[in-house]
Amino acid sequence: MTEYNYFCWSKEYNDENSFQQKRYRVFNVKVTEEEYNKIDKIYHKLEFDNDESFTTRFQTAFKKMWDTLSQKEKQEYFDIPHFDWEGFTFITGITEAKEELTLKQVCKELGREIKIIK
């Protein structure tokens, strides 16, 4: 049985992504123990509601935790090697936010002015 996984999923029992091998994996990609331990440091303890299925409990707990994180803390998850939105959404229920920015906000993010020429 695999003991070291973060954000791994398998849609079919006992396929190459199933949890039958002992290895370190993140987003279904094999990583070193050192890489795994770095990711382990940003993983937060989740509080579960025992009245729901495991998947629902995990997704509910993860969403509650996610909503408390700053953008910088969320970015730590996006910076995990092999980050995969499809897998992240499948596991956590969190979908990619499509953020709209004003020109002023874009300039601030870039640290420079942008001139629009018509």
Break the chain into its structural domains and give their ranges. Answer: 4-110
Give the model confidence (pLDDT) of 83-93 as tens digits.
888 888 888 88
Task: Give per-residue pLDDT as tens, 62-73.
Answer: 888 888 888 888
Question: What is residue 20's predicted lDDT score, i.e. its pLDDT?
Answer: 55
Mean pLDDT of 13-33: 68
**Which pLDDT score is estimated for 70?**
83
Q: What's the pLDDT score for residue 4? A: 67
Q: Return the pLDDT at 81.
A: 83
- 98 φ/ψ angles, rounded to the nearest 5 degrees: -100, 100
Between 15 and 88, whose confidence is greater? 88
Question: Which pLDDT does position 53 carry in this prediction?
Answer: 66
Long-range contacts of 32-39 (CB under 8 A, 24+ apart): 33/4, 35/81, 36/4, 36/6, 39/6, 39/80
- Please tell me the predicted confidence (pLDDT) of residue 71: 83
C-alpha dist (Å) from residue 29 to 23, 39, 40, 78: 10, 13, 15, 15
* 93 CB-contact burial (10 Å; exposed 0-12 / middle 13-18 / buried 19+): middle
pLDDT at 1: 43
24 forms bridges with which residues in the sheet? 4
pLDDT score, position 8: 66
Instruction: State whether residue 72 is helix, strand or coil.
Output: helix
CA 35, CA 47: separation in Å to the nearest integer? 25
